[in-house]
Amino acid sequence: MEQHEREYFVSRIRSGCYHVKYRGVKLKVVTPTIEQEFDINQVYEDSFVSSVEKGLMTEKEMLGWMIERKLWEEGEEKKIEILKKDIEKCKLGIYEAANDFKLVQRLKVYARAGERQLEELISKKRKYFSNTCEGIANIDRIHAFLRICCYNGSDLCDFDTVPIEYVCSEYFSMTLSESQIREICRNDPWKSLWLMNDTGCYSLFSNSDRELSIDQKSVLVWSRMYDNVQESLDCPPDDIINDDDMLDGWFISQRQKREEEKKEKDMDNTLNPKVANSEEVYIPVNSEKDHKRVNEMNSKTSQMIKKQRAAQIKTQGSVLQHDLKDERMRLTRETNAAHKGKFKR
């Protein structure tokens, strides 16, 4: 994004309004007041209730209908979750391989391909959303918003002469993507404005008497997010912060660390103090749910060792403790450490 583009977007975000052109006429869409926001949400609720009373399907019911007619399959639902995890793995890999340019570029290609597949699946799943109670109510809410907040000069827009669907489409097409918002937050002019805001004598937005726009909410959330990154004890270098994929990978890495720490804490609180410091602890379970919960208490390394042991036992039939691959590696490390210590003395 060029500097002049950032300046334009920042000024538009700060104004809290969007300009939509229709046949030479410039319409202005502003954000609603708190009371207007309540009226708009009331339209949604009334529309939803009316659709339910008419016997229209909710989003959940529509999904069931699609499954019955093979328009959506359980396997596709699972694929969505798999794709989300695969994209996370790619981003974590990008962060961990920050110094390997070729690997980073390859993983970025995989991540973008995964995102496209995910978008296609979600689009397919929501194909009939506009025909559901929620979909109809959402359209009615958007139309109510435009009827209250779209102006032609000083007067409200006359949607008898201007197609409301056109204005709706143009308005949402102007909202910025997450990557655009993140780039804006990292650079001037917004970065300087955000720092000045901390002085308490500077106003970021001109629509302080109204609700925040979509872009205003996004830029505030990401500005605060970048502040938190900078304040972190494990703050990554600038080249990682300035790369969305790498920073996402850092977020994932930090989350996994917190999860590991929580697992260890939960395990320590669950176990008898006499066995809490043992290398291996066996916990009997009575259900598949409990089995999953206990298994998730293991660290990533422990889960990998479990899989490795299971594969070795399956191949060899039975294995003595000291013949397990991880045990042999541990004994080798201990022997080497003792050998080095002997010569140091």
29-39 per-position pLDDT tens digit: 999 999 999 99
pLDDT in tens, 168-200: 999 999 999 999 999 999 999 999 999 988 776
Burial class (CB in 10 A: 0-12, 13-18, 19+), 185: buried
Share of the chain above pLDDT 90, in %: 71
- Given pLDDT bands bounded at 50, 70 and 90, which one contains residue 343? low
Number of alpha carbons in the 13 Å side-chain half-sphere of residue 245:
21
What pLDDT was estimated at residue 333?
75
- Asked if 65 and 55 touch (Cβ cutoff 8 Å), the reply is no
How many angstroms separate the CA atoms of 314 and 312, rounded?
5
Interval 10-26 mean pLDDT: 96
- Asked if 48 and 137 touch (Cβ cutoff 8 Å), the reply is yes
CA 69 to chain centre: 31
- Asked if 185 and 219 touch (Cβ cutoff 8 Å), the reply is yes
- Asked if 72 and 66 touch (Cβ cutoff 8 Å), the reply is yes
- C-alpha distance across the termini of the chain, in Å: 61
What does the block give as tokens for 342? 């002997």
Question: Which amino acid is it at 170?
Answer: E
Helix (H) or strand (E) holding 17: strand 17-22
Least confident of 10-19, 57-66, 125-134, 328-337: 328-337
- Asked if 324 and 309 touch (Cβ cutoff 8 Å), the reply is yes
Tell whether pTM > 0.75.
Answer: yes
Helix (H) or strand (E) holding 27: strand 25-30
Helix (H) or strand (E) holding 215: helix 214-231
- Asked if 90 and 110 touch (Cβ cutoff 8 Å), the reply is yes
